[in-house]
Structure 1
Amino acid sequence: MRGSLFSRPSSPLHSHSSISPSLTPRHTFSETIMDENIDYAETIITKWDLDGPTYRKMSSLFGDDRTEAKKFIEAVTGLRNAMHHFVKINSSSEKLIRAQRLMQIAMKRLEKEFYSILSSNRYVLDSESVSSRHSRASTRSSISDFLEDEVLEEDESIQNRRTSATSEADKAALMAVADLKSIADCMIGSGYGKESVRIYDLIRKSIIDESLYNLGVEKLTASQIQKMEWDVLEAKIRSWLHAVKIAVKNLFYGERVLSDSVFSSSGKIAESCFAEISRDAAITLLGFPENFAKSKKILSPEKMFRALDLYETISDLWPEIEMIFSYDSLSAVKSQAVASLVKLGESIRLMLTQFELAIQKDSSKTPSTGGVHPLTRYVMNYLVFLGDYSGAVSDIVGDWTLNAQTPLPESYFSSPISGGAAVEDASSAVTVRLAWLILVLLCKLDGKASLYNDVAQSYLFLANNLNYVVSKVRNSNLGLLMGPEWISKHESKVKQYAGNYERMGWTKVMTSLPENPTAEISPQEVKEIFSLFNSSFEESYKKQSGWVIPDRRLREEIKISLAKKIVPGYRVFYEKHRGTNRREIGVESIVRYAPEDLNNYLSDLFFGNDVSGSTKTWSYETSSESSLSSRGR
């Protein structure tokens, strides 16, 4: 009975044979199952033979009938099991040859289906859509953990038809990924992984290249950059800054997710595919900043901010770059990103050095009005912008030893560098560097102040310029970097300069009045005092009528201070002695000013036209305007 159940039935041709039943070949249960697998596979696979009926060539196995597609994959799986079984028994058996022929037909069909799905769904499988659907990866410990969970979620979504909350494009994309994964698993398991990889690499690499082209990414050498006009190069930098964020966060991330999803059955194949389609494009993308930094054309202080934009962008994207290109086979991509950062850092250091030297070597004239020097305006505006890049600058100058060999006044040297708590902080590399540059500026201004013939004007010049420096620091990110102690210390210095100006500019006026204006003196002495006061006041006023104090607050403070020092004493003297000498001949002509007149004259001071802009401007001021104003943040 067991023989009749598990052995192949004898054919009619041998039913009356004289051969003994004990000599009839018997099939094992496994062989019977494998035979049936081959028979079943033949009925399914041959229907979709590309060399078969024409309508089957034009049809889509996975697009037209998903039930049939599932049967096809099952048939291939059964066929593969049969081949494994028979190859152990007899590697040259007819059954094995038949199975191999069917497998070739099946793989040829799956290749076509794989290509068709990739091609027809290239727009629903765009990297941005893929990456957005997998945005939750940022909350997982690794991309692999995320993918494993997400694939399960996608499969469950497909099986249970839970797609009501997703768009039609998302449905199509999820279905396409599931189909691609099913085909890839089948082909890899059948020993045809190379064929699926070849098709995948061909199509997805073209998509990456096309996407980068549409984003405006070009492969530019350092020599090509060197020959470009700055306006053209700056436009390419802006384009790159926009493109690299999209490329890393959407394009490459989406491709990493897609390749890991489609080839989830083989980590090595997934790595190979992603490396093949992304390596060259990523290196080209991340190589632009290095080539930019190599160009000697950009080594000028006003170009520094574009270099900092590039540096800051790569630094901000580094966590994503490190995660997306985590495979060993993509170490060249990470190396390129690091090389760009290193080269940009070197260029920025050089530009900072040139900036410092430019301050020291400046030979432009001081403004005749005693106002704010163009050098001061340029340097402080420059440092304000530099302060906005404090994170990047801190990375660049963190291990850069400060060269303190520049000859500086002792009074300046210790204060800005070591006087504030902010500077002593462990993360204050950028603070020290900025404080040093301000120190170099103040030293230069100190030397320029000595060029004035009038000492009072030199002190007014120092007060105006230091006040401008402090104002820029206080009202920008520099205030946080320099700290309140630095600001307070230099505000006191402004008041000191202002006080020196008042003493040197108005001493003759103040000392022309007696210490005790109510004391009894002779009419002749009254005349002499009024005469001396008038001439002193008129001399000082006339000399200073063209001087300016651009800052309204400082201007009012100095005016009020001068009025308090001059007017009250004069008022007392005026009130006491004007009437006493009223009948004396010539007395009325000597008393030229009432106290209110003095207030009016003082109120009119320091509004002179600041013609500092008409003097020789600092060498970088004009050319830097576009650079300083073009930072898009």
Structure 2
Amino acid sequence: MPRKGMRSICFNPRTPSFSSHQSSHSTPSRRSSSEFMIDQTIETASAIIMKWNPNSSTYASVTSLFYENKSEARLFIKCVNELQKVMQLIVSDDSTSPKLVESQILMQIAMKRLQKEFYQILSTNRAYLDPESVSVRSSRTSARSSISDYEDDGSRDDDVHVASDSITELEDVSSFAMADLRSIAECMISSGYAKECVSIYKIIRKSIIDEGIYRLGVERVSSSQMNKMDWEVLDLKIKNWLEAMKVSMKTLFNGERILCDSVFSMSDSVRESCFTDISKEGANLLFVFPELVATKNKKSSPDKLFRLLDMFTSIAQHWQDIETIFSFESASTIRSQALNSLIKLSDSVRSMISKFEQSIYKESSKSPPPGGGLHSLTTNTMDHLCLLADYSNVLMDILADWTPQPRKSSSLPEYSFSGSYSVSDDSPTSAISACIAWLVTVLLCKLDGKAKHYKDVSISYLFIANNLQHVVSKVRTSNLHYLLGEEWTAKHEAKVRQYAANYEKLAWGRVFSSLPENPTAVISRKQANEWFRRFNNSFEEAYKRQSSCIVPDTKLRDEIKVSIAAKLVKVYREFYDMHRLWITGAGDEENVRSIVRFDPEDVGHYLSDLFFGTVSTASTSSSSSASAPASSLQRHSRDFQLSFRV
């Protein structure tokens, strides 16, 4: 009989009272075995149910059945289950039987008792049934199961004994509370009181989830509030959200799902309804936040880009947990919200990368760095790209369909690195690799245009060499190398050497040509004087022009110095050794100094002082030329000085 129908019988004023039923029972000898079993079941159930009727005694109203006496609690559940079976039997035989009314009254009293016990267990064990404790307990249970399987194989040894004992010691109150809740839930659901049981569970457990979300710093924020929020405040909220996401997936929602599945294991529909209603509001609050951040006004910054990538990474990393925990059909809106946030974050990241590309295009500074040094556009862009490369795993998904979009109307100069954005790679990283390579190409094109602002063409080449070297160095020492590959890196390293060679040729070519091709050839004193004067003038002029040049990269700086010295110092030394004595013997010392202003050591010292941006001008007096290198030797490596004495 439907529950509503049974209740109508129960409250019929013409129905005989419970006490009169007891007095009207006939003796067992006159009843059939079935009737005897029914009477016995009702009598046994009545004894224990009435004992724990909250309205029957003060003791029953203030004491917990499950806390005071576990064995009696199990008996109580057993009697209620037997009473339910008897009621079904009575209904099938005679739906108007007074015994049905008597059983229904007992059932109502029992359900009130179980409702009270269910509430007390949930309330008093709140600390032991928090999602974190439940999650940990679940892990321990899994570990114990693994050990049991191992024991069944007959392979148990001392190590297994230790592990098993350790897990047993870790078992806490939550396991017993969950078992009690499950037995009560099963009893109430099978007796037709699922609604009352579920109602209590939802009220208490939802408050735990909502409180947990609040404590994790996730609050309801409207779109208008988000758009008015300062970046510093939003950045703090994003940091809180990232931590909240981690805790929510591993403990809060995971623990609640485990608890709900355990308590309502007998009914798929009940546990689905319970978990979805409990978690839906908190989960949607958690997953809607990234979407709001992704759509927050149109302003972008590198900091915001990386925060969006952090949020995308967090959802992506926990996606399997999201699908597992919120697997119910009724929780599909939660999964949809998480997916929608992923899509919005992905769109926003692509948009911000596009804006970053535009910012390189639009960089409009006209004054190039003094001495051909590093441009701030180079350092800022490469720092940004290095950080992007650290997110290559998620960017592979975000930029899967990326293709370069060259601007037909752009003001970029004709660039000799054409095709450098191409990365010959069929791996899953090819899209992001091509994107990064393209952004580097845009940077180098822009630098190529800025190099033309130098009046000295040689410094233009040094500027390109310096900035390209910084690019290559950043690629070598970051995840960019994994994305761009060795072939790309080696190709651009060769371009650095090419530009350095172009600088050397333009800046020092006249000095190289100021010495005879055969420095040891026999020439006249007049010819020797002329060669010395030509060298003095060209060297002083080149040194004066290049003294302000800067090469920040130590390796490139040394390579350029060694290359210049190899072409200059050795030839000059041979020429000097061959012809100085001749000139010395031809006149007084002052006249000789006016002709031979530098000895080979001086030349090496002056070269070693180059490319730091703070160098003294080469002196025309021998005394000055001797003093300047002396300070240089104190500042720079002696090993490098020796490299000039080739």
> TM > 0.5 between the two?
yes
Are 1:592 and 2:593 matched, yes or no?
Answer: no
Please state whether the residue corresponding to 2:31 is helix, strand or coil.
coil
1:177 maps to 178
* Displaced runs of 4 or more, over 6 A: 11-15, 136-140
1:166 and 1:466 map into 2 onto residues whose CA distance is: 59
1:219 counterpart SS class: coil
Moved more, 294-303 or 354-363: 294-303
3-state secondary structure, aligned to 1:414 = coil
Alignment match of 1:65 (pick from 57, 63, 69) = 69
> Secondary structure of 2:519's partner?
coil
Contact 2:458–2:504 (8 Å) recurs in 1 = yes
| Contact in 1 for aligned 2:42/2:103 (Cα 8 Å) | yes
- Worse-superposed segment, 399-408 or 327-336: 399-408
Q: What is the CA distance between 1:410 and its match in structure 2?
A: 6.0
Per the TM alignment, residue 307 of structure 1 is displaced from its structure 2 partner at its CA by 0.5
- Secondary structure of 1:415 counterpart: coil
The 8 Å contact of residues 163 and 171 in structure 1, kept in 2 or not, is answered as: no
| 8 Å contact kept, 2:245–2:286 | yes
Residues 514 and 13 (structure 1), Cα distance of their counterparts in 2 relative to 1, 3 Å cut: closer
Which structure has more relative contact order (CA 8 Å, sep 6+)? It is 1
Q: Which of 133, 136, 139 lines up with 2:137 in the alignment?
A: 133
Task: Please give the secondary structure, in 2, of the residue aligned with 1:322.
Answer: helix
8 Å CA contact 1:527, 1:587 repeated in 2 = no
* Aligned partner (choices 526, 534, 537) of residue 536 of structure 2: 534
* 1:277-336 superposed Cα distances (whole Å, 9 cap, x missing partner): 001110110111000001015533442000100001100010100111010000011101
Q: What is the match of residue 497 of structure 1?
A: 499
- Structure 1 CA distance, aligned partners of 2:179 and 2:433? 54
Equivalent in 53, 56, 75 of residue 52 of structure 1: 56
The alpha-carbon deviation at position 405 of structure 1 amounts to: 3.9
2:252 aligned counterpart, secondary structure: helix
Q: Indicate whether 1:417 and 2:426 are aligned.
A: no
Corresponding residue number in structure 2 for 1:386:
388
Assess if the C-alpha contact under 8 Å between 1:217 and 1:285 holds in 2. yes
Does the CA-based 8 Å contact 1:34-1:81 persist in structure 2? Answer: no
What residue ranges of structure 1 are gaps of 5+ in the alignment?
A: 1-10, 16-23, 150-161, 611-633
Q: Give per-residue Cα distances to partners, 1:100-131, cap 9 Å, x unaligned.
A: 00000000000000000000111111111111
* Structure 1 residue matching 2:265: 3-state secondary structure: coil
CA distance in 2 between counterparts of 1:52 and 1:168 reads 40
When structure 1 is superposed on structure 2, of 371-380 and 570-579 the one drifting more is 570-579
> Do the aligned partners of residues 137 and 514 (structure 1) sit closer, same or farther apart at CA in structure 2, a change above 3 Å counting?
farther
2:326 alignment partner AA: F
Letter in 2 for 1:32: F
| Contact map agreement 2:54 2:60 (CA 8 A) in 1 | yes
**1:383-426 superposed Cα distances (whole Å, 9 cap, x missing partner):** 000000001111111023331345664642323314x4xx3324
How far apart are the structure 1 equivalents of 2:449 and 2:288?
45
Q: 1:80 aligns with which of 80, 84, 87?
A: 84
Deviation at 1:137, TM superposition (A): 9.2
Match of 2:275 in 1: 274
Distance 1:163 1:96 in 2: 50
CA contact (8 A) 1:287 1:340 kept: yes
Given residue 257 of structure 1, which amino acid in structure 2 is its aligned partner?
A: I
Task: Please report how far the alpha carbon of residue 487 of structure 1 lies from its aligned counterpart in structure 2 after TM superposition.
Answer: 0.9
CA-CA distance at 1:524 after TM superposition:
2.1
Say if 2:137 and 2:175, in contact at 8 Å, map to a contact too.
no
Q: Distance in 1 between matches of 2:341 and 2:325?
A: 18
* Matched residue, 1:111: 115
Structure 1 residue 607 corresponds to structure 2 residue 612: yes
Q: What count of residue pairs does the alignment treat as equivalent?
A: 571
- Alignment CA distance shift 1:499-1:285 (3 Å): same
Which residue of 1 is the match for residue 330 of structure 2?
Answer: 329
Tell me, in whole angstroms, the C-alpha distance in 2 between the residues paired with 1:391 and 1:13: 78
Residue 522 of structure 1 deviates from its aligned partner by 2.4
Q: Which amino acid aligns with 1:607?
A: F
Identity across matched positions, percent: 51
1:27–1:606 CA distance, 2 compared to 1 (3 A): same
Q: 1:42 to 1:48 in 2, by over 3 A?
A: same
Name which of structure 1's ranges 222-231 and 465-474 shifts more when overlaid on structure 2.
222-231
Q: Give 1:258 shift.
A: 0.4
1:227 shift after superposition: 1.1
Find the aligned partners of 2:24 and 2:250 in 1 and give their Cα distance: 70
Aligned to 1:544: 546
Report the 3-state secondary structure (helix = DSSP H, G, I; strand = E; otherwise coil) of the residue aligned with 1:296.
coil
By how many angstroms is 1:12 displaced? Answer: 12
Residue of structure 1 equivalent to 2:434? 432
Q: Is contact 1:300-1:354 (8 Å) kept?
A: no
Give deviations 1:437-456, integer Å, cap 9, x for gaps. Answer: 01111111111111111111
Q: Does structure 2 retain, via aligned residues, the 8 Å contact 1:34–1:82? A: yes
Q: Which deviates more from structure 2 when the two are superposed, residues 436-445 or residues 90-99?
A: 90-99
* 8 A contact 1:349–1:397 mirrored in 2: yes
Cα distance between partner residues in 2 of 1:334 and 1:72? 42
Distance 1:527 1:386 in 2: 61
User: What amino acid is the match of 2:468?
Assistant: L
- 2: CA distance, partners of 1:491 / 1:435: 15
Contact 1:301 1:352 in 2 (8 A): no
